Amino acid sequence: MAWSIPLIAEASHFRRLSQATLAELASSGLVLDTPPFRFRIRSSSQPLADALFAAYAGYKVLDDRAFVDFDLSVLPVKSWRRFVAPLITLDFDGLLPFDPLPAAQAFPLLEWGMNWCVTSNAHQYLMCHSAVLAMGERALLLPAPPGSGKSTLCAALMLSGWRLLSDELALIEPETGLLTPFVRPISLKNASIELVARRFSLAEMTCPVVDTIKGTVSHLKPTAESLAGARQRAVPKLLVFPKFVADSPLKSTELSQSEAAVELARNAFNLPAIGVLGFEALTKAVEGCVCYSVQYGNLDDVIAWLDAQVDQDVEARHE
């Protein structure tokens, strides 16, 4: 590219998660570096620790000198129930935003808690419900409501050579329209867990947790390439609204940028809250994009199609 996007600044004092201990997690907590945020995570839960060390292997742990954005504790609820059906709860800087859950769901609770911290507070960005992946600095946005098969597609793309920026949350910078990565484990549900495991033998996932409010849940570790690009912003180039329909052949419909912008706005978390700034972010993000809605029944088809599309430029198309 003719111009380079500056990297997000890196912390200078860190270790790898594998060097941290369970004892630390349970007492003073671990400060996990998940750019652009730093979470202090504290928990005495064994299932949480197991999943955390698996899904976040390779992530940096910062020391006490770090700026902590959000302080999360997942701790047992002290009640008579703890001998029969132990519950855990999430404490976010003194707040308890969720109802307690069965102790086995500690890691999903942490993940949802981390998402909640960001969507409730990170109004320096326009935030949209969307998967974001990239080839180099060229980004693909896949906005879709939950249950649309977006996570499966996102996981498959990541495991097929795309770098992951986020499986759920597009962070759009209002001044530039650029996408900031927020690389975290991909949340997979129900049937897609087995689907991904079967198709990608190298995929590393946490132990599935059953009976959550979203069904059976497992988290897929980000690829090394995704983690390596955790500070590299990307330029939105391809905006695709995916729809999975079993056994359907690939059907793509090009959308005008304004149609696509309206649809993307529908998937925004904080557009009314930040008003005009949000519209600016939306416009800047979409104006460099080629936009489609795509129906597919076969992962291979849609991945191949996306691989081909990502190199298209919106200017070239209108010549």
Partner 1 sequence: MSKPVTNNRLIEALVSPVAVASWTEADWGLAFRQARSANLVASLGDYAETGLGRGVMLPAAQAHLRAARNLIVQRNAAVAWEAGQILKALAKRQIRPIFLKGTAYVLAGIPLARHRHFSDIDVMVPKEDMAEAEKQLMLAGWLPSNTDAYDQRYYRQWMHEVPPLRHVRRGTVIDLHHAITPLTARYQANTPLLFEGRRSLLPSISGADVLCPEDMVLHAAVHLFSEGEAENGLRNLLDVSELMDHFIAGPMGTEFEGKLASRAFLLGLSRPLYLAVRYLRRVLMQDRRIRLEALMESAAPRALKLLALDRIYHRVFMGQHPTQTLPGNRPALAALYIRGHWLRMPTKLLLPHLWRKAINPRR
Q: Which residues bind partner 1 (CB under 8 A)?
A: 9, 36, 38, 64-71, 93-95, 121-124, 174, 272-277
- 3-state helix/strand/coil string of 257-272: HHHHHHHHHHCECCHH
Least gap, CB of 38 to partner 1 (angstroms): 8
In the complex, what is the shortest distance from the CB of residue 15 to partner 1, in angstroms, rounded to a whole number? Answer: 17
Compute the least distance from the CB of residue 18 to partner 1, in Å.
24
Handedness of CA 132, 133, 134, 137 (dihedral sign): positive
57 versus 68: smaller Cβ distance to partner 1: 68
* 94 vs 145 by CB, closer to partner 1: 94
Minimum CB distance to partner 1 smaller for 9 or for 308: 9
DSSP string, 64-103: TTS--SEEEEEEE--SGGGGTS-EEEEEETTB--S--EEG
Which residue, 69 or 263, has its beta carbon nearer to partner 1?
A: 69
For residue 98, count other CB atoms closer than 10 A to its CB. Answer: 14
Q: How far is the CB of 119 from partner 1 (least distance, A)?
A: 12
Give the span between the Cα atoms of 54 and 294, in whole angstroms: 34
Measured CA to CA, the distance from residue 267 to residue 216 in angstroms comes to 24
Nearer to partner 1, 108 or 174 (CB): 174
Contacts of 22 (CB under 8 A, 6+ apart): 46, 49
Kindly state the smallest distance separating residue 93's Cβ from partner 1, in Å: 5
